[in-house]
């Protein structure tokens, strides 16, 4: 007897991710969870250069600016709560110095363009179809930076608006890197601050729009949202806030992703990397014992083997 329904997953037969791949991850906080897995296992990857981006318009703006080499200027910044901010970026990039913020933003735009051009896979996780439009400029923002709510219009992007935004993202990326694989997914994080019904509307718009693009050339969908909602339909798989996936759920979804998108050779390397990572976290009872010295020598040999096989891997 089975006590769980499972989302049927079909492993990719080509364009798999391995240790020669280069991955760009963009989107909501869930992409950060998956991005941390890529970092832990030492894949070549870059995640959210402008910080977390929840809605399609914010991701579209980053991709467009990067592809077009459109630098930020002073007119793109605002001063609020004793710091300079940019509506296109997460508050982690905010800075007391206007000059430093501009420098960081424009270095990020350059870095993102280089990554888009060299990526073999671009993973885009959409969090919400709700977006905020700044009344003063009419532009959608990625982050409100605690500017008073009355200065924004809250908008639910329609299915067509989401689809158009995703098509712009896709065409922009493929204009400079036509062979890259674009993998869309929807974040399982529930945006309850928008309301329960409103969150469901939002996810439905995202899913509907994505499925109008998948099965096109080099465009795919991975069902993170469906795995969380169906296979892990129990609050024990949520964090304390009952909204975000727990570490167990993140590990589960990651393993599902690996089963679909990661090559068998890469899985062997992942096991080797994991051995080293666990070894680095090991705390000995007796650091001066012969057993621990032998352990360190073996760990060093494993590190050197990986670093010699893959020049970009550093522990």
Please provide the size of the chain in residues: 315
Task: Report pTM.
Answer: 0.95
Write the pLDDT tens digit of every residue in 66-125: 999 999 999 999 999 999 999 999 999 999 999 999 999 999 999 999 999 999 999 999
Which residues have C-beta within 8 Å of that of residue 255, sequence separation ≥ 6?
none
Burial class (CB in 10 A: 0-12, 13-18, 19+), 168: middle
Average pLDDT over residues 227-236: 94
Q: What is the pLDDT of residue 134?
A: 97
- Identify whether the C-beta of residue 168 lies closer than 8 Å to the C-beta of residue 182: no
Q: What is the pLDDT of residue 167?
A: 97
The total of other beta-carbon atoms located within 10 Å of residue 122's CB is 24
Helix (H) or strand (E) holding 250: helix 247-261
Q: What is the pLDDT of residue 131?
A: 98
Q: What angle do CA 177, 180, 186 make, to 5 degrees?
A: 120
Write the pLDDT tens digit of every residue in 175-210: 999 999 999 999 999 999 999 999 999 999 999 999
Give the three-class secondary structure for 86: strand
Q: What is the pLDDT of residue 1?
A: 77
Q: What is the pLDDT of residue 208?
A: 97
Percent of the chain exceeding pLDDT 90 equals 94
Give CA–CA dist 271/97, Å, rounded.
Answer: 44
pLDDT over threshold 90, residue 22:
yes
Domains delineated in the chain: 22-263 (3.40.50.1110)
Give CA–CA dist 219/215, Å, rounded.
Answer: 6
The total of other beta-carbon atoms located within 10 Å of residue 171's CB is 11
Give the three-class secondary structure for 155: strand
Which residues have C-beta within 8 Å of that of residue 69, sequence separation ≥ 6?
109, 110, 113
Burial class (CB in 10 A: 0-12, 13-18, 19+), 213: middle
Helix (H) or strand (E) holding 254: helix 247-261
Mean pLDDT over the full length of the chain: 96
Q: What is the pLDDT of residue 147?
A: 97
Q: What is the pLDDT of residue 58?
A: 98
Give CA–CA dist 11/48, Å, rounded.
Answer: 26
């Amino acid at each position: 007897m089975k006590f769980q329904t499972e989302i049927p997953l079909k492993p990719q037969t080509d364009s798999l991710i391995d240790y020669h791949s280069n991955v760009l991850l963009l989107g909501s906080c869930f992409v950060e969870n998956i991005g941390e897995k890529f970092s832990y296992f030492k894949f070549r990857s870059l995640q959210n250069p402008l910080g977390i981006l929840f809605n399609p318009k914010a991701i579209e703006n980053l991709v467009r600016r990067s592809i077009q080499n459109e630098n930020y200027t002073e007119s793109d910044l605002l001063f609020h709560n004793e710091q300079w901010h940019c509506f296109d970026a997460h508050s982690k990039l905010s800075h007391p110095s206007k000059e430093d913020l501009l420098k960081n933003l424009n270095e990020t735009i350059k870095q993102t363009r280089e990554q888009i051009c060299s990526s073999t896979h671009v993973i885009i996780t959409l969090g919400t179809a709700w977006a905020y439009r700044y009344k003063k400029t009419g532009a959608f923002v990625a982050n409100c930076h605690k500017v008073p709510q009355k200065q924004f219009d809250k908008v639910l992007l329609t299915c067509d608006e989401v689809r158009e935004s995703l098509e712009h993202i896709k065409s922009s990326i493929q204009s400079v890197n036509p062979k890259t694989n674009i993998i869309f997914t929807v974040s399982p994080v529930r945006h309850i601050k928008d309301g329960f019904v409103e969150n469901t509307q939002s996810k439905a718009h995202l899913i509907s729009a994505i499925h109008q693009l998948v099965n096109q050339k080099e465009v795919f969908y991975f069902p993170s949202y469906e795995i969380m909602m169906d296979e892990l339909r129990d609050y024990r798989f949520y964090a304390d806030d009952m909204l975000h996936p727990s570490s167990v759920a993140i590990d589960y979804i990651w393993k599902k992703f690996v089963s679909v998108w990661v090559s068998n050779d890469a899985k062997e390397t992942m096991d080797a990397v994991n051995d080293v990572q666990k070894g680095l976290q090991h705390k000995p009872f007796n650091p001066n014992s012969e057993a621990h010295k032998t352990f360190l020598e073996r760990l060093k040999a494993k590190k050197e083997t990986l670093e010699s096989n893959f020049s970009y891997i550093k522990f």
